Structure 1
């Protein structure tokens, strides 16, 4: 419920009281006056006057009920209504003190009916009726009665001032609370807009990541074709040229065997490149299972002991995150098989709050990363590719290696959940 709705509901409730409350209070005053008429000593003439005044009060109230809708704030008509109601209540209470129940209505709505300069006089006039009723009726019969009346009037005025002050404070607190609620609604709206913008930006980044991934795959495939398949074909051609010119059948057979081995190797490289173009390992398995199978198959193919470990509560990740981490592991394993001469390798996937960490360590011959950069002008195609993959999804990639002491690769990427 908004602030405006809550305010409207409160105003409707008070509007119902202002319209029907005086009727109820008048009715209760009539009942109490009838019940106590014998004690008070009301004569026939007083009954006639009381009846006429009750009828006048009903007429005044009905008149104001018709007029109130067009005059919601202080107005001359509201002042006249308040004065007529007070005068009727004063005379009724003079006749029977229990008619003061009707006079209580003067405490409510004075701010709605009277101009600001008349609010306090109007409340004081109502307090006079209440003090007269509480002191035994108007007018006081002797000096003691006047003293009691004066004391009760003072008490009523003090209580009225106290309650008015509390009402002002409560009204200010209500206004402050309403202002706070409005500010919170604005803040929530701004926050929701920011979240929507972030979601749109995230979707745009994913689209750009996919596009960059396509370009990266093209560069990777071109580099692998150049480094493996093209070199293999060059070697095959060289071996066949030797066979063409060879007169020794044994020598020709040896070169043919070498050409066949190069062809098989090139075919394997081609299959590997095509396989890496699309992460089929993720079609049926989540990332941890896919990484475990990849590491296990690599260990069986190379004969190197390889272990895979998962730490932290595993969660389903976004497809781009899973594909990136799988590609990094595949590239790291390929580099290790080609260059590291390792006897042991470990892959660790760690789920840590709002990020995922992938570590690949081997005990191979290692290398000097700075010397590699100086020699090639980059960190090597494989390292650059892994770093580019990680950075494309707002991650980071680090390499720690030293000749003779193995290599450690670490990729840290944000934990973006599936869906």
Structure 2
């Protein structure tokens, strides 16, 4: 039983108690009125004696009905055989008592209120008609012309009772249906809330996993762009120091290797702390790129030129860090693979986007044949894509390489 059905059950129990104990009080009231009118109605001794067994039978009938549970209503439209027998016998007893004294029609009026409960909707109207006959007979006082008029009146009353009873039953059924619909809606809502809670937990787990994965990718890219580049430069400088016959030149290469080691260590610490590159700590992007290109040129012993075009505007820190890392990676790849004799780096402010181009005249490579572009090129693309940008690569064997990164400024200014 749902919570919404409990008021209906309480209402049925209350009606059952009224119909079980009410007839005793109404019968007592009818008896009191009848006895007070014995003289006025000129009741005979035989009629008075006849009241005793009829009332006794009525009391026994009510007691049996109560103990048999005939007043336990459930709001249904069907009745049991025992309830039908009870209603018929009570109606007969009411007619007999009304014949002995018309004021026992007070007792007969019970038939108007429980006909549908005791007989069901199908036979309830017949029960109402029988009650109407008893009431009219008692009130007509033996005048048959008056009986006809009173019968018409009571039939009208019976139909009115029937109409109100039917309406009350329909309202009751509608109320039960509404409550059941609300309970079903609440149950569906609870299921939806439970599903949403489960989905929320799942999304939290997925977000946590995605965050861990993204952090791993970030650290991998930072390590590749900082420590790996620094180690590459250190190896290059130490190799040059080993190959150099001049002690002063060798010491210069060793000093450069030491500086690169310190720089790489500092960048590693900044990467772990998720800080901006050290080159951007005191300079804006154009100045940081110029210093990066100059340092790379001295380290790689390759002439490199840096150019800025357009109107220089302040940039979001993430855009500056992204473009600087892409430039560092592109220059590292040039030093390792291109064997270039000349490098050009251009930073272009284009109004709604900013572009970084790194070109060299090295040996180049076949993009169609070399499908494995490596972590460096993939990392550059991943960095740009995080800002809704792109990285394009143009290269042919013997004709150098051009890397162009473009990042929109609409969402990051």
Q: TM-score range by the shorter chain?
A: 0.5 to 0.7
Q: Hey, what does 2:206 align to over in structure 1?
A: 208
Q: Hey, what does 2:297 align to over in structure 1?
A: none
Q: Hey, what does 1:407 align to over in structure 2?
A: 409
Give 2:281's match in structure 1, choosing from 292, 296, 301: 301
Give me the whole-angstrom Cα distance separating, in 2, the residues matched to 1:258 and 1:330. Answer: 29
Q: Hey, what does 1:32 align to over in structure 2?
A: 33
Q: Hey, what does 1:84 align to over in structure 2?
A: 89
Output one character per residue of 1:159-205: Cα deviation in whole Å (capped at 9) or x when no partner: 32133133223323332332343333333323322332332233233
The Cα of 1:211 is off from its aligned counterpart by: 3.0
Match of 1:367, SS? strand
* TM value normalised by structure 1: 0.62
Question: What does residue range 18-417 of structure 1 map to in structure 2 within 5 Å?
Answer: 18-37=19-38, 39-42=40-43, 44-68=45-69, 74-114=79-119, 118-133=123-138, 135=139, 138-140=141-143, 146-243=144-241, 245=244, 247=246, 249=248, 255=253, 258-276=256-274, 301-302=281-282, 331-332=318-319, 334-335=321-322, 366-368=353-355, 380-384=381-385, 386=386, 398=388, 407-409=409-411
Distance 1:44-1:399 versus aligned 2 partners, 3 A rule: farther
Q: Hey, what does 1:417 align to over in structure 2?
A: none
Match of 2:265, SS? helix
Output one character per residue of 1:274-294: Cα deviation in whole Å (capped at 9) or x when no partner: 223xxxxxxxxxxxxxxxxx8
The Cα of 1:248 is off from its aligned counterpart by: 6.7
Match of 1:302, SS? coil
Match of 2:191, SS? helix
Shifted more, 99-108 versus 41-50: the winner is 41-50
Distance 1:94-1:205 versus aligned 2 partners, 3 A rule: same
- Whether the 8 Å contact between 1:363 and 1:407 is mirrored in structure 2 is no
- Whether the 8 Å contact between 2:322 and 2:383 is mirrored in structure 1 is yes
Match of 2:21, SS? helix
Task: Supply the RMSD in Å over aligned alpha carbons.
Answer: 4.4
- Whether the 8 Å contact between 2:280 and 2:321 is mirrored in structure 1 is no
The Cα of 1:399 is off from its aligned counterpart by: 5.4
Give me the whole-angstrom Cα distance separating, in 1, the residues matched to 2:31 and 2:279. Answer: 101
- Whether the 8 Å contact between 2:389 and 2:405 is mirrored in structure 1 is no
* TM value normalised by structure 2: 0.63
Give me the whole-angstrom Cα distance separating, in 2, the residues matched to 1:154 and 1:27. Answer: 28
Give me the whole-angstrom Cα distance separating, in 1, the residues matched to 2:203 and 2:91. Answer: 74
Give me the whole-angstrom Cα distance separating, in 1, the residues matched to 2:149 and 2:213. Answer: 94
The Cα of 1:8 is off from its aligned counterpart by: 3.0
The Cα of 1:37 is off from its aligned counterpart by: 4.4
Distance 1:236-1:15 versus aligned 2 partners, 3 A rule: same
Structure whose CA Rg is larger: 2
Distance 1:80-1:184 versus aligned 2 partners, 3 A rule: closer
Match of 1:139, SS? coil
The Cα of 1:271 is off from its aligned counterpart by: 0.9
Q: Mark the runs of 5 or more structure 2 residues left unpaired by the alignment.
A: 286-315, 328-348, 359-372, 391-403
Q: Hey, what does 2:307 align to over in structure 1?
A: none
Q: Mark the runs of 5 or more structure 1 residues left unpaired by the alignment.
A: 141-145, 277-293, 306-328, 341-361, 388-397, 411-419
- Whether the 8 Å contact between 1:29 and 1:102 is mirrored in structure 2 is yes
